[in-house]
Amino acid sequence: MDATAKPLRIPPQMAVYAEEHKVFDILQKMVQKLLIDRPEDPIQYLLDHLRKDNDEVPRICVLGPPASGKHTMAKLLCKHLNVTHLTLENLLSSDVSVLVEEALSYKDKGQEIPDALWARLIQERLSKVDCVKRGWVLEGFPRTREQGLLLQMNGSSPDHVVVLEAPDIVLIERNMGKRTDPTTGEVYHTSFDWPDDPAVQRNLVEPEGITEEETGQNLLRYHRNIPGILQIFSNILRQINADQPCMDVLSQVLTFVLSKPRSLAPYTPRILLCGPPGSGRSLQAALLAKRYDLVNISCGQVLKEAVADQTKIGQLIEPYIENAQQVPDNLVLRILADRLSRLECSTNGWVLHGFPRDVEQAGMLSDAGFVPNRVFFLDIPDDVAVERLSLRMTDPVSGERYHSLYKPAPRVEVHKRLQRNPADSEEKVQARLDMYHANADDLEEFYDDIFHVNADQDPYTVSEFIESCVVNPLPKSVPEERPLP
Q: What is the pLDDT of residues 361-392, one digit of tens each?
A: 999 999 998 999 999 999 999 999 998 888 88
Regarding predicted confidence, which is higher, 411 or 262?
Answer: 411
φ, ψ for residue 87, nearest 5 deg: -125, 165
**DSSP per-residue letters across 356-369:** --SHHHHHHHHHTT
Beta bridge partners, 419, equal 394
Q: Residue range 166-170: average pLDDT?
A: 90
Return the pLDDT at 336.
93
Cα(320)–Cα(342) distance, rounded to whole angstroms?
Answer: 25
Task: Please calculate the CA angle 235-237-241 and round it to the nearest 5 degrees.
Answer: 145
Q: What is the pLDDT of residue 372?
A: 93
At 459, give phi and psi (nearest 5°). -60, -30
Contact by Cβ (8 Å): 309, 301: no
Do 118 and 141 touch, CB atoms closer than 8 A?
yes
Q: Check residue 311 and give its pLDDT.
A: 85
Task: Give me the pLDDT at residue 8, please.
Answer: 64
With 90 as the cut, is the pLDDT of residue 409 above it? no
- How far apart CA 166 and CA 110 sit, in angstroms, is 31
Buried b (16+ CB within 10 A) or exposed e, 291-305: eeebbbbbbeebbee
Residue 260 has a pLDDT of 77
Show the domains of the chain with their CATH numbers: 56-257 (3.40.50.300), 270-471 (3.40.50.300)
DSSP 423-484: GGSHHHHHHHHHHHHHHHHHHHHHSSSEEEEE-SS-HHHHHHHHHHHHHSPPPPPPPPP---
Percent over 70 (pLDDT), the chain = 94
Distance of CA 317 to the CA centre of its chain: 41
Name which of 160-164, 254-258, 261-265, 269-273 the model is least confident about.
Answer: 261-265
Confidence check: pLDDT of 2 > 60: no
Rounded Cα–Cα distance for residues 340 and 348 (Å)? 11
Query: What mean pLDDT do residues 352-369 have?
Result: 93
Is residue 349 pLDDT above 60, yes or no? yes
Q: Is the pLDDT of residue 484 over 60?
A: no
- Mean pLDDT to the nearest integer, 185-209: 77
The strand ranges marked E within 264-391 are 270-274, 295-298, 350-353, 374-379
Q: Which residues contact 258 (CB under 8 A, 6 or more apart)?
A: 475, 476, 477, 478
Whether the predicted pLDDT of 193 surpasses 90: no
Confidence of residue 485 (pLDDT cuts 50, 70, 90): very low
What is the Cα 157 distance to its own chain's centre? 21
Q: Which of 50-59, 191-200, 382-391 has the lowest mean pLDDT?
A: 191-200
Is the pLDDT at 340 greater than 80? The verdict is yes
Mean pLDDT of 328-341: 91
Q: Looking at 4-13, 259-268, 444-453, which range is the least confident one?
A: 4-13
Length of the chain: 485
- Sign for the CA dihedral angle at 162, 167, 172, 177 comes to negative
Mean pLDDT across the stretch 170-182? Answer: 81
pLDDT of residue 5: 58
119-128, 255-264, 432-441, range with the lowest pLDDT: 255-264
Of the listed ranges 113-122, 265-274, 284-293, the one predicted with least confidence = 265-274
pTM: 0.68
Name the residue among 375, 353, 355 with its Cα closest to residue 365: 355
| pLDDT for position 24 | 82
Instruction: Report the chain's C-alpha Rg in angstroms.
Output: 30
- What confidence tier does 333 reach under pLDDT thresholds 50, 70, 90? very high
